[in-house]
Amino acid sequence: MAGIILLLDFLKKNPSLATQSLHSYSLFSATVAASAAAASVAAGKPFASRAIFGDCGFPTAYCDAGSSATWNEEDIPNVQSASENILPNSFKYRTKEYPLELKPLFSAFGFKSFAMTSLRSFLLFYLPLLEPHPPVEENDDLLHQPPEERPLDLVTPFQNSVKQIIRETAVVTTRRVLERFAVHHVSQRMAWKLLKDVPRSAKRKFDRGMPTLLFFYSVSRTTFRGHMLGVAASWIVQVIIEIYRCFFRKHNNDDEDININEKIRLFRRKLFGTTVKCSASLVFASIGAGIGALCHPSTGQWIGCALGDFAGPIVAIVCFEKLHLQI
């Protein structure tokens, strides 16, 4: 049909060729309809079977045999208008789009993010100082000696809080760098999976009415991909910290005689332990997100991912201690 449309459009633009070659539009239309019908019949039935069984008694009508010889602009569409009218009705499904939403590179230093990070870090190291100690009565057993009163140290928790703030901001900034690296060096589809909003994706999966096991597997897989860059950023920052601790930090007087081989051995053990903890964090975060999404698709996914991320390294440490291994 596209060839017939092109031919008609060409003859419409060159009326001299039409008047010289064709006697009437009706004859030409009947010829075109007959050839098109013959082609459709030939395409639908093999040549040998037509000779044996005939045309099976299907009549063919030529509807434009009595048309006038005048050219009408509306009766002869071009290829562009035909494609615009046919394609939207024929193909109802469009290709899947992969929108990429990159957050600012220094988003960790925004007011809200930096304030939440600072508050969380100070509470982490100062709340243990507020733990009450029960008073010891004088008539208690002599074995329960009261602990020695030490002056309250407020400088060490402050230093630890500042280090924790620097570490968390470094992890978030490293993740932003990895996101830009993924956008420019991997396929658009894979970059979209790595940068996907996982709670929103879990909500969309829940709205589809997926079975329970399939929904759990899909959310866990999506969380594994979406949480991968965060775990990779945490691994990179922790490895840089271990390199500084093993090779560049000044040790005590008793440790000055440590040779380079001992430092390398210590770094390899720290690297192995960091890799195990980050891998356990990624796996448990994915499983926790799948379990939490069964309770609530978006909020449950986020809470389950956070709990799994926190519990993964603890479970790994306990398992290695049971096996008498050091990480």
* Amino acid at the residue 87: L
Which among 232, 302, 243, 292 has a CA at the least distance from the CA of 270? 243
149-166 pLDDT, tens digit each: 667 778 888 999 999 999
Rounded to whole angstroms, the Cα distance separating 304 from 288 reads: 4
Query: Three-state SS string across the chain, please?
Result: CHHHHHHHHHHHHCHHHHHHHCCCHHHHHHHHHHHHHHHHHHHHCCHHHHHHHCCCCCCCCCCCCCCCCCCCCCCCCCHHHHHHHHHHHHCCCCCCCCCCCCCCCCHHHCHHHHHHHHHHHHHHHHHHHHCCCCCCCCCCCCCCCCCCCCCCCCHHHHHHHHHHHHHHHHHHHHHHHHHHHHHHHCCHHHHHHHCCCHHHHHHHHHHCCCCHHHHHHHHHHHHHHHCHHHHHHHHHHHHHHHHHHHHHCCCCHHHCCCCHHHHHHHHHHHHHHHHHHHHHHHHHHHHHHHHHHHHCCCHHHHHHHHHHHHHHHHHHHHHHHHCCCCC
- Among left, alpha and beta (phi > 0; psi -120 to 50; other), residue 306 is alpha
pLDDT tens-place string over residues 194-222: 998 899 999 999 999 889 999 999 999 99
In contact, 288 and 320? CB cutoff 8 Å: no
Q: Which amino acid is at 41?
A: V
What confidence score (pLDDT) does residue 5 get? 57
- For residue 55, the model assigns a pLDDT of 47
- What is the residue type of 6? L
Q: How far apart are CA 185 and CA 169, in angstroms?
A: 24
Q: At how many degrees (to 10) do helices 198-207 and 260-295 cross?
A: 30
Q: Indicate whether 3 pLDDT > 90.
A: no
For the chain, percent of residues with pLDDT exceeding 90 = 35
Asked if 272 contacts 302 with a C-beta cutoff of 8 angstroms, the reply is no
- By the 10 Å C-beta count (0-12 exposed, 13-18 middle, 19+ buried), 302 is classed as middle
For the chain, the residue count is 327
Round to whole Å and give the CA distance between 66 and 26.
Answer: 6
pLDDT at 77 (0 to 100): 47
Are the CB atoms for 203 and 237 separated by under 8 Å?
Answer: no
pLDDT in tens, 8-39: 665 555 555 444 444 444 444 444 444 544 44
189, 184, 186, 215: which is closest to 202 by C-alpha?
215
Question: Residue 246 — very low, low, confident or very high, per pLDDT cuts 50/70/90?
Answer: confident
